[in-house]
Each structure stands twice: as C-alpha cells, then as structure tokens.
Structure 1
C-alpha cells in the first residue's frame, strides 16, 4: 500500500488526515483509545509532548544569524491576527442589537476566536509548508494563547477595564524554552542539527492525531450555523490577511495563512471575561459554544484552504516552501 504517497497527494494530508481520523474516533467512540498506559499517552495525551519535541528539533535548525527573521515573522503574524480580529469584533459591537448580538454572533466570541490561534495546527502546517524560521516564529505566537489579547482589545474599545493576571510570562517562557535549547544544541554542533532534522517531519502525523482526539464534531452542532460563521471568518479573514501581509514582506505567504485558526483554549475565554466583567454574562453560554464550533471548523477547514493556496501557487510556478527558504 502506498499510504505515504496517498497522504501527500491530499492538501495538508500528513496533518489533516490523522486529525480528522482522530476527531471521528473521539466523536463516535471517545473511549476507544482512552485505555491508559502507552496507548493513551501517545494517541490521546501526547500532543503537548510531541509538539514540544518538534519545536526542539525545529530550534536546532535555526542558525543564529536568522533568529531575527523568526522573531519578525512571529511579531508580524501576532499583530496581523490581533488587529484583524479586533476590527471585526469592533464592527460587531458597533452594529449589535439590543440583545448584544450582531447577525446572531456574540462579539466576544468573534474576538476570542479570531485573536486566538491553534499553535499545534500552526506548527503542523508550517512543518509541512514552511521553513525553520516559520516554525520558530511560534515562540512569539504563544502570546495569543488564552484571554489576554481579547482582554486588551476590549479594553481599547472601552467595553471594560484592563484586567491583570490574565497572562503569565512563565507560560510564554515554557513555550520558548524547547526552541532555545534546540537552537543552542544545533549551533554548538552541526551533527546534532543534522540528527534532529531527521525527526521533525516524522512527528507531524502523530501530534496531529493527538490534537484530533481533542475535537468533537458535536461542537459544530451545538454552536450551529453562527459558530460555523465565526470559524469561516477566522479562516478566510485572518488567514487571508496573513497571506497578503507575508506576501508583501516577501516571506512565504502560506505561513501567514497557517495562523488562521482558533485554539481549543479559546473556548474558556468568554467565561473568563464574563467573570471579570458582568457586562458580558448575558451571552457567555452562546459565545462559548460559538467559539467551540469555530475551533472545530477552523481545524478542518484551514488545512484544506491552505492546501488550495499551495496548489494555486504551484500553478504559477512557485514552489512552497523551497522558493521562500531564507537559509538555503
């Protein structure tokens, strides 16, 4: 059987097929792989560990002379996603009805979903379609985990005051440290760099599967059409914005698209903000299910959209990521 060749024919196949397979299992037979020991540790609970190892391997491929490029890409992606998400959220607030909703969407759900991103999905996608500077950019993208940037947007809107304690510098360092360790090892010893490089691509389908085991298709049903719309906005608005910003910077535009998702931890953001300000309590349940639906929608749709854009570039004679590699 030509399993590898078949997966490679599917846009983002090494990532999206294991993820969808796991999501299907988690939806219809959630306890099938939750049997403890090594099976559960690898296929259910292994995402964080596998991603951390992937980041360490990625860090080893970074030449210190290019570290500024990685930080520049990370900062650009972070700012682009936040600005675009905040603007759409502001529009929703401006045109919201008496019920606090805009076209059935909770503004807080829009901001929470569009300013937050799925780091694991980003790493998986740029692992296949990006270079080492794209992968290392993830160290800065950890800043949009949780409700911190959503809170900043709301504070700017004057919707609520700034709330301390919503972001931990320790959490940020904990994401950055594996990359730094890998970078140190790779720059101290070229053989270590080559050794770690062999393992990077192997990890992608495994942590993609583990990520899928955290997805339940029922979230789309609960969130309804409105939640799917939030997901569509996240993929096509923030993802496309990242594409054109990266293209303007003459960086790999596909890496810019890879940030167009919503992370699972964003589901807790509406409740966290409602706890800080009762002004948002009325729509917190609706916002929560809409964000949950966006998580699932973006996890499925973003790899497909990204694969479509890759094919479009290939028709123009542009190879991704080869034609955009900074340190060839």
Structure 2
C-alpha cells in the first residue's frame, strides 16, 4: 500500500490528510482517542510539544549570521497580515448596513480572523515548502495570538480603547525560547544540529493530526455561509497578497501564502473584546461562530491553495519548490 506516495500526490497531503482525518474523528467520535495514557498524549494533546520541538530543530540550522533573515521574514509576515486584516475590517466598518454587518459579516469577526494566523499550520507548511529561516520566523507570528492586535486596530479606528492584560511579553518569550535553544545548540555543535534535523519532517503528520483533534466541522454549519466566506477571504486576501509580497521581495512566495489562515485562539477574541468594551457585546456571539467557521475553512482550504500555487510555480520554473528555495 503506497501511503506516502498517495499523500505526496495530494496538495499539502502530508499535513492536510492527517488534519482532516483527525477533524472527522473529533466531529463524529470525539471521545474515541480521548482515553488517557499515551494514546491521548500523542494523538490529542501533542501539538504544542511537537511544534516546540519542530521549532527547536529549525533553530539548530540558523546561524547567528543568518538569524536576521528570520527576523525580517517574521516581522514582514506579521505586518502585512495585520495591515490587510485591519484594512478590510475598516472597510467593513465604513460600509456596514443598519445591522452593523458587512456582507453578513461582523467587522470584529473580520479583523479577529484575518489578523490572527494558525501557527501550527504555518509551521507545517513552512516545513514542507520552505527553509529553516522560514520556520524560524514563527515566534514573531505569535505576537498576533489573542485579541491584542484586533484591539490595536479597533483603537486606531477610534471604536475602543486598550485594556490591560491583552498582551503578555512572557508569552512571547515562552514561544521564542525553544527556537533560541536550538540556535545555541546548532551554533555550538553543527553535528548535533545535523543529527536533530534529520527527523524534523517526520513530526509534521503527527502534530497536524493533533491540531485536527481541535477542529469540529459543526463550526462551519454554525458559522453559516458568512463564516465560510470569511475563511475564503482570509485565504485569498492574506494568503494571496502574502504570496505577491514575498515574490516581490525575492523570498519564497509559498511561505508568504502560509500566513493565510485563522488561528483557533481567535475564536475567543470577540468575547474578549466585548468584555473590555460592552458596546461590542451585541455582535460578539455572531462574530464568535463566524471566526470559528473561518478557523475550520482556512485549515482545509489553505493547504490545498498552497499545493495549487506550488504546482503552478514548479510548472512555470521547471524546478521543485525545494530547488527554488536554494536560490532564494
């Protein structure tokens, strides 16, 4: 049975197939793997630990001389993601109907979904299509976790003020530290870095499966067509524009597209914003289900979209993405 060959033929298959399989299990048989012990530890609760290990291994391939490239890529990804999401959110606020909705979408849902990316998904896609400095850009993307950047946008637009506790420097350091440990190990001993790096790709299907165990397809139904539309917009606008920006700079455009998702933690952003400013409470519930639908939609659609772009790029250049990486 040619499992790997089959997965390789599917766009983003090594990541998207385990993720969708787990999401199906979580939707229809949620307690099947939640039986404790090693089973639950590996298949349900392992994503954070495996992503941290993946990040540490990526760090072993980063030299102190090349670390600046990772910082540039991370800040570029973070900036354009926020600018696009906040900009479309502002348009939605300006063009909202009498119910405060734009194309059936709550503006707060648009900003929350489009400015916050799924870090696990980015790591998996950057691991499959990018280089080590692309993976090492991830800690800067963690700055978009939670409601902080959504609140920044709303504060700039004059619709709310800041609230304490919306951003934690400690949380950022906690994400950055595994990468820094890897950088130190790799620079102290190249052989140790090479040893660790050999197994990094094998982590992808395992943490993808664990990520999928946090997805429930009923979120798409609850969010309705508007929630699916939000997910499609997130992929096409933040992912598509990310592709063009990275291509213009001269970096791997596939990695720019890998930011075109919505993080699971963004689901809690509307309620967090409403708790800080009660004027958002009437929209918070609708925005929550729309963001949840975007999380699931982008998790399914983005790997497929990236697989399509990768095949198109390979056909145009006559080279595989990994070969293209070597020249960027």
Q: TM-score scaled by structure 2?
A: 0.98
Q: Deviations over 1:56-83 (max 9, x none)?
A: 1111111221100000000000000000
Find the aligned partners of 2:168 and 2:221 in 1 and give their Cα distance. 33
Find the aligned partners of 1:315 and 1:115 in 2 and give their Cα distance. 31
C-alpha contact (below 8 Å) 1:252/1:321 kept by paired residues: no
Q: Deviations over 1:2-40 (max 9, x none)?
A: 111111111111100000000000000000000001000
3-state DSSP class of the match of 2:97?
Answer: coil
Find the aligned partners of 2:86 and 2:325 in 1 and give their Cα distance. 29
Find the aligned partners of 1:326 and 1:190 in 2 and give their Cα distance. 23
CA drift at 1:261: 0.3
- Residue number in structure 1 paired with 2:44: 44
Q: Deviations over 1:252-280 (max 9, x none)?
A: 00000001000000000000000001111
3-state DSSP class of the match of 1:121?
Answer: helix
- Residue number in structure 2 paired with 1:293: 293
Structure 2, unpaired ranges of 5+: none
- 1:92-131 matches, cutoff 5 A: 92-131=92-131
Tell me which stretches of 4 or more aligned residues in structure 1 moved more than 2 Å: 324-327
- Residue number in structure 1 paired with 2:208: 208
- 1:189-268 matches, cutoff 5 A: 189-268=189-268
CA drift at 1:163: 2.0
Q: TM-score scaled by structure 1?
A: 0.98
- Residue number in structure 2 paired with 1:324: 325
CA drift at 1:113: 0.1
Q: Deviations over 1:270-318 (max 9, x none)?
A: 0000000111111111000000000000000000000000000011124
Structure 1, unpaired ranges of 5+: none
RMSD of aligned residue pairs (Cα, Å)? 0.9
Find the aligned partners of 1:136 and 1:258 in 2 and give their Cα distance. 14
